[in-house]
Structure 1
Amino acid sequence: MIDDHRPAPAPPEPSYGRAYGSGEPSYGPQAAPPYPQPESPYPLHGSPSPYPLHGSPPPPAPAPPSPISGPPAAGRTGAAGRRRRAAEPSGPEGLWRLVPQALVVAFLAGGTTAFVADDKAVELTVDGGPPRTLHTFADDVSELLEEEGLTAGPHDTVTSRAAGGALADGDAVELRYGRPIALTLDGRRRELWTTAHTVEEALRRIGVRASGAYLSTPRTAPVPRSGLTLVVRTERAVTFLADGRERTVRTNAATVGEALAQAGITLAGQDTTSVPPGSFPHDGQTVTVMRITDGREVREEPVPYAVERTADPELYAGTEVVERQGRAGVRRITYALRTVNGVRQRPRVVADEIVREPVSRLVRAGSRPRPAVTAVAGADGLDWAALAACESGGRADAVDPSGTYGGLYQFDPGTWRALGGSGTAQQAPAAEQTYRAKKLYVQRGASPWPHCGGRLRG
């Protein structure tokens, strides 16, 4: 009996992707293509290759079923082979089902290639430590530091060969942390930051000439991240003028006094310098040493006495009587004398005292009105006007150039008082001067006027 042993067509397998060639997703069993299968010998879109999957040979076509039932021929596979052939149908329909799998394999192969291409070997050095080679997918330096848990502050520096910050395989990145330094340079203090690791490196970056300089911290000392206080005094040339000589020394001293000692100059007593010894010596400065000799001088000077006058009604006006002579006082003044480099300076008063008080002069001045001047016997009738004209030009207040003689008849003060006058002759009225001149003539004749006395008799 002839029986048709051809297997029943397999049910369509479910598809969870997009239907190939449709552009729309399909979530159920894949329907047959809406267009007829190509009769071209190239099942996959007319590919010129006779092999659908990138030129690989197709699986061998299954042998046609035998019209006569019976055991399988010798050399054929068993049930497993039949199941495999049943699960992998041949022909265009089977090739069509393999296309999504090929696409997934191709996508994974391309992704793996891109993944390997993004991996970069980068050398990283952190704050002077040993360099480390890292494999990273970071695109730039900032991403690399973030991956390593590092942060660059405003005073830190990041150096890299990466152009524009973008990382490439083989780049080197270095991170250096900033360190605060309180620097006092030649007496001037300032605050600054540096990424240097040692004092010597920091000074070199700042631009400080450390040769011959004084450093409060050794050059090889490290600069900790917490900061450092550093005092630097560079070498300077200072010239001293002392004792007629000029001496120049190179020094890193902190004061002029220290530099003076280094020059071998000693200050004694009141000696000093033209600038304060405790001031900072600057490069090119010239300092003069002043040799000072101090002394004392005491002088006594008179203190004038005062004249005290009291009115006496018993005495005629213009008459004075000295009750007590005055006596000058004594003032003692002490002067400080200073000689600087042999030149005497202006004396300076350091003490002033009165060692003896002055004694006032007491004078009684008459206030009684004077009677009218009367004639003087023996002197009337003489030409007193001619004598006055010769002696004083007829001026009652005339005084000779020496200041000794005065009045119409040029009385000296002693003669005037001896004749009863008070004050000086030039202070008295003209009538009184003529009256006393007559009295003098009666006593001594014309001898008091040796040159003009002959005018009295015309």
Structure 2
Amino acid sequence: MRRSPRTSAFCVLLTVPLALAAAGCGGGDKPTPRSTVAVADAPRTSAPPARKVVIVVDGKKTTAMTTGTTVDEVLAEAKVALGPYDLVAPPRDAKAGDTIKVRRLLSKPVTTTIRLPAPVVRKTQSSLAPYSEKVLRKGRPGLKVVQTAYVKRRGKKVKIVLAQKVKRKPVAQILGVGPKPGGVGSAARLNWAALAKCESGGNPKAVNPAGYYGLYQFSMQTWTSVGGSGKPSDASPAEQTYRAQLLYNKVNGRWQGQWPNCGSRLFS
């Protein structure tokens, strides 16, 4: 006699949720428990907001909206192509600020050091002979570092100074100079302007190929004999007149040996 399937009939009466949870119904496998821990959402990422950056290329300003963080990224977004020698500030790999400056260059910058001439300070020294000079302190030239490059301006290639800095300041030379007297005794009352006009046309720089110089056409030997240095034509008109008066007194007024053709003009 066959056993009545009571267990099976009982299980049929159970609701589906309970049947799934029952241990002895429909097989011996245990149900997998559901996790009660909620799965966290993945973090959401968003692009940084666009901001305004002023780009200055050779003095011309443009404004760009960009999300770039470095100078290179900002220029790339703004479609500003850089040449091999262009200067960029701030540097290309630096964090971009509100302004980026670009200087277009046609050549690699060249740095040179140049000498700055020492200035000359003249101080009158009564102890020195009139119009004479003496170095009281030696000067020293300065040094300046200059950076240059070629750029394009109005369709032409021109050289410009990019930067310069004084590396060493020059030290001035102090030069003592003798007094400048108004004249030499009674000789000062003669008409030296008339003599100069006759001898050289009144030109203190006049040079005669025969070897005579300045207002009164001194020879080098005569000029040196009255205390002159260098060429007479390089001296000031006042010094040339002063030394001409010294010469007049030195020869005791015998002007004929010095200015045979024009000396009489002294008395006009």
TM-score normalised to the size of structure 1?
A: 0.25
TM-score normalised to the size of structure 2?
A: 0.39
Which has the higher Rg, Structure 1 or Structure 2? 1
